[in-house]
C-alpha cells in the first residue's frame, strides 16, 4: 500500500533528469507538492510540465546548487509559494565523467568540483530546512550517496570520497536531529540507467552488468521507490541509515 504525502511539500535537487525526475514524479504521485531545482533550465521546464500532470503544485527553479546565496533565495521562494518544506531530497551530483582518472594522474582541481556538487550542495540545502523542521518536530531529509562511497569504484577516487562525505554527513545530522523527530537517511544507488550511463560504450556497460548479481542496471523509478519510502511515515523509526539499491553489486 502506497503512503500518502498529501499536504506535504517536497524539494528535489537535480530534478530535471534521471533519478531526480523519477523521484519528483513519484513524490507528486504520492500527493506531495514539489519544488524542482536544477541548473539546466530548458530541461527543467519540460520536466516540470511532466510532473504537473500529477495534478499537484510544481515549482521549478533553475539555479546552481553549489551557490549558497542562490540556494538561500530559492528556499525563500519555496516557502512563499508552496509552504515550509517537509521533505528534502538532496539528489544533485555526478562523477568526474570525462575527467575520471587514476589518483596519481589526476588533476586535483577536479576535486573542488566533486566536493561542491556532491557534498557541499547537500549541506547547503539541508541548512535551509533544518530550523523549520526542528520547530515543527518533524521532517525528512534524504541524501543520494552512491555505492562508490563503500566500494571505492576504480578511477572514481574523488567521487567516492565526496559520496562517503555524504554518508558521514547523513549520520552526523541524523544523530543531531533525531531528538526533534527528524529523519535523515541516505540512498546509495549502484549503476542506474541515466544519461551518463547511456553514454558508456556497450562493451563497458556489458562489463558493468556482468558484475551485478541481478544481471541488469537499475532504473530511476527503482531509486524513486526508496525515496518514497524514506519520505513517508513508514520510515519514522529509521534514521542515519544508508540503503544500497544496486542489484546486489555491493553488499554490506
Q: Which residues of 134-169 are buried (b: 16+ CB within 10 A; e: fewer)?
A: beeeebbbbbbbbbbbbbebeebbbbbbbbbbbbeb
Does the pLDDT value for residue 140 go beyond 90? yes
Query: The domain spanning residue 129 has which CATH number?
Result: 3.40.50.720
Spatial separation of the C-alpha atoms in residues 72 and 64, rounded to whole Å: 11
Spatial separation of the C-alpha atoms in residues 107 and 109, rounded to whole Å: 5
Does the pLDDT value for residue 98 go beyond 70? no
Range of the domain at 238: 9-245
Q: pTM score > 0.85 for this model? A: yes
* pLDDT score at 152: 76
Strand order in the sheet with 87-90: 58-62, 33-38, 9-13, 87-90, 139-144, 182-189, 242-245
The band of 176, judged by pLDDT with boundaries at 50, 70 and 90, is: very high
Residues 6 or more apart in contact with residue 84 via CB below 8 angstroms: 9, 132, 136
Q: Is residue 81 part of a domain?
A: yes
DSSP secondary structure letter of residue 234:
G
225 or 193, higher pLDDT: 225
Q: Is residue 4 part of a domain?
A: no
Q: Is residue 251 part of a domain?
A: no
Q: What does the block give as the cell for 149?
A: 562511497
* pLDDT score at 122: 97
Count the domains in the chain: 1
Does the pLDDT value for residue 97 go beyond 90? no
Residues 6 or more apart in contact with residue 220 via CB below 8 angstroms: 18, 19, 21, 22, 23, 192, 193, 194
Q: Is residue 46 part of a domain?
A: yes
For the annotated catalytic residues, the residue numbers are 159
Q: Is residue 80 part of a domain?
A: yes
Instruction: Specify whether the CB–CB gap between 78 and 63 falls below 8 A.
Output: no
Q: Is residue 2 part of a domain?
A: no
Q: Is residue 104 part of a domain?
A: yes
Q: Is residue 232 part of a domain?
A: yes
* pLDDT score at 196: 76
How large is the angle between the packed helices 220-231 and 18-29, nearest 10 degrees?
Answer: 50
Amino acid at each position: 500500500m502506497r503512503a500518502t504525502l498529501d499536504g506535504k511539500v517536497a524539494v528535489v535537487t537535480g530534478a530535471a533528469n534521471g533519478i531526480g525526475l523519477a523521484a519528483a514524479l513519484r513524490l507528486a504521485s504520492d500527493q506531495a507538492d514539489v519544488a524542482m531545482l536544477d541548473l539546466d533550465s530548458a530541461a527543467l521546464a519540460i520536466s516540470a510540465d511532466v510532473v504537473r500532470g500529477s495534478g499537484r503544485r510544481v515549482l521549478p527553479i533553475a539555479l546552481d546548487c553549489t551557490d549558497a546565496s542562490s540556494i538561500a533565495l530559492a528556499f525563500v521562494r519555496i516557502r512563499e509559494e508552496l509552504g515550509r518544506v517537509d521533505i528534502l531530497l538532496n539528489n544533485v551530483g555526478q562523477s568526474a565523467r570525462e575527467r575520471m582518472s587514476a589518483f596519481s594522474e589526476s588533476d586535483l582541481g577536479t576535486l573542488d568540483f566533486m566536493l561542491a556538487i556532491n557534498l557541499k550542495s547537500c549541506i547547503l540545502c539541508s541548512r535551509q530546512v533544518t530550523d523549520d523542521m526542528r520547530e515543527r518536530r518533524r521532517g525528512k531529509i534524504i541524501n543520494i550517496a552512491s555505492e562508490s562511497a563503500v566500494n571505492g569504484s576504480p578511477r572514481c577516487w574523488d567521487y567516492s570520497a565526496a559520496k562517503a562525505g555524504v554518508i558521514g554527513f547523513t549520520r552526523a545530522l541524523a544523530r543531531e536531529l533525531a531528538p526533534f523527530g527528524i529523519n535523515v537517511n541516505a540512498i546509495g544507488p549502484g549503476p542506474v540507467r541515466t544519461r551518463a550511463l547511456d553514454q558508456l560504450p556497450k562493451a563497458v556497460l556489458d562489463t558493468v552488468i556482468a558484475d551485478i548479481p541481478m544481471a541488469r542496471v537499475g532504473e530511476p523509478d527503482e531509486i524513486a521507490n526508496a525515496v518514497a519510502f524514506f519520505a513517508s511515515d513508514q520510515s519514522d523509526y529509521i534514521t542515519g541509515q544508508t540503503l544500497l539499491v544496486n542489484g546486489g553489486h555491493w553488499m554490506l
